[in-house]
Amino acid sequence: GAGVSQSPSNKVTEKGKDVELRCDPISGHTALYWYRQRLGQGLEFLIYFQGNSAPDKSGLPSDRFSAERTGESVSTLTIQRTQQEDSAVYLCASSLLPGNYEQYFGPGTRLTVT
Amino acid sequence: GENVEQHPSTLSVQEGDSAVIKCTYSDSASNYFPWYKQELGKGPQLIIDIRSNVGEKKDQRIAVTLNKTAKHFSLHITETQPEDSAVYFCAAIPGNQFYFGTGTSLTVIP
């Protein structure tokens, strides 16, 4: 498909386990963003990539969160030792370039930590 | 950093009436202001945007106005329809990062 895809769509994990969330951006988009959206809340910026580099990691809530991007394409957001407060929808978006360009969002991964 | 405030948080209108959502921002460097619509269980989708060199933009029933002096911008939806029911987010972009408002849940009552 031509849009942003994310997998899995839903993930239920036990507290303390590690999880990996995947994002496949639109082909050719150099910028990739990760956001967290708690139930009924707005979008909380986590990190963005320009190419394979992450110029701004300021939104990552703790050192349990990390992300990488390879081949200027797929990105993985990893949460180690998950906590119940990590439960949220994790959204990925990509844009042609960083900044003043439309961000195209994926459908999100709903993470539930039990 | 940029701070975006959005009001109201919830809005109910009768079908056919207009809806207005307002946002303010703090960083005068912001020069791009998109509006996104998020339907239940889906990712946000751009519905309209405006850049700082323009005061108003319209696309069918949707319009956005920007007042750079006052640092506020608004979304106007006319002749609302039930399918307009969703959560709407504004954003301001001063550099490479999007700063989103907290969202407005719009309900259009048939």
Q: Does B96 sit within 8 Å of A99, measured CB to CB?
A: yes
Of A42, A106, A107, the CB nearest to B103: A42
First to last CA, chain B: 41
A102 → chain B, closest CA residue: B46
Query: Which residues from A are below 8 Å from B49, CB to CB?
Result: 102
Nearest to A99 among B95, B101, B102 (CB): B95
Bridge partner residues of B18 (DSSP)? none
B107: left (phi over 0), alpha (psi -120 to 50) or beta: beta
pLDDT score of A1: 53
- Cβ-contact A23, A6 below 8 angstroms: yes
> What's the pLDDT at B54?
84
pLDDT in tens, A79-112: 999 999 999 999 999 999 988 889 999 999 999 9
Burial class (CB in 10 A: 0-12, 13-18, 19+), A1: exposed
The amino acid sitting at B87 is V
Look at residue A71 and tell me whether its pLDDT is greater than 60: yes
Which residue of A100, A102, A104, A110 to mutate against B (max B Cβ within 10 Å)?
Answer: A100
Instruction: Express each pLDDT in A11-38 by its tens digit.
Output: 999 999 999 999 999 999 999 999 999 9
B98 touches A at CB < 8 Å: yes
**Span B51-69, pLDDT tens digits:** 988 899 999 999 999 999 9
Pair type for strands B32-38 and B86-92: antiparallel
Which chain B residues are closer than 8 Å to A31 by Cβ?
96
